[in-house]
Amino acid sequence: MERRGRKLWGAAVVASVVVVAGLVWFKPWALWVDETVHDALPTGPAVSAAPAASSTSGPVASPSSGTPAAPTVVARGTFISHEHATTGTVKVVRLADGSHVLRFEGLDTSNGPDLRVWLSDAPVRAGIEGWRVFDDGRHLNLSRLKGNRGDQNYPLPAGLDWAAYPSVSIWCDRFDVSFGAAALAPA
C-alpha cells in the first residue's frame, strides 16, 4: 500500500507541474483582462525605433509659411478578424518633421500572451487562410502591442520604406497566429 501511495503522490506532482506550465504558457486569464491605451496623435517629431535601409522624404513645409505642415495620413486600412475578433482602423501618418508613425484608432481585440505589431509583405486574407501568412515572407516586428483596446502610436524606423509592407498584423508570437490584420492603401 505504501508503494501505491508514493506512485499516486508522484503522479499528482507531475500532473500539477504540467497544469502550472500550461497555465504559464497559455495565460488564459489574459483573455479577460483588457488594456486600454489612449495615445494622442503626435504633433512633434517621432522617436525613431531603429535605422532602416531606404530613405523617406524629409521635413514637409507648408508652401505659404515655410513652417512644418500638420500630420498627414498617407495610408490607411481597416482591421479584419482572424484568430480573435478584431476591429478598428490603422493609419500611416507622416509627421511635420517627415517621420512616420503607425496609428491604431478604435482598436478592439482580445488580449493575448505575446501580442506584437507587425508590418508584413503578405496579403491580408479573410478567414482561416489569413491566420498564419504574415511570417511567410518579409515582416518587421515594430513593438509589443501596447494594449488590446484604444488608440495607439508606433513610430516607424527612420528610412523605412513602409510601402514595401502593405499589411499590418496583430501577431501572437507565442502561437504564430494573427489575431487581426489590415491592408494598407494609399490615402
Q: Is the torsion defined by CA of 139, 144, 148, 152 positive or negative?
A: negative
User: How do the pLDDT tens digits run along the chain, 187 residues long?
Assistant: 587 777 777 777 666 655 555 555 455 555 568 999 999 999 855 444 443 333 333 333 334 444 557 999 999 999 999 999 999 999 999 999 999 999 999 999 999 889 999 999 999 999 999 999 999 999 999 999 999 999 999 999 999 998 899 999 999 999 999 999 999 999 9
Q: Give the 3-state secondary structure of residue 49.
A: coil
pLDDT at site 87: 98
If one counts every other C-beta atom within 10 angstroms of the C-beta of residue 175, the result is 15
| Pairing between β-strand 100-108 and β-strand 167-172 as defined by DSSP bridges | unpaired
* Alpha carbon separation from 96 to 102, 104, 163 (Å, rounded): 15, 19, 19
Please, are residues 124 and 136 in contact by the beta-carbon 8 Å criterion?
no
What is the rounded distance in angstroms from the CA atom of residue 143 to the CA atom of residue 146? 8
25: its cell numbers: 504558457
pLDDT at site 55: 34
What is the rounded distance in angstroms from the CA atom of residue 86 to the CA atom of residue 63? 40
For residue 168, what is the enclosing H or E element? strand 167-172
What is the rounded distance in angstroms from the CA atom of residue 115 to the CA atom of residue 169? 10
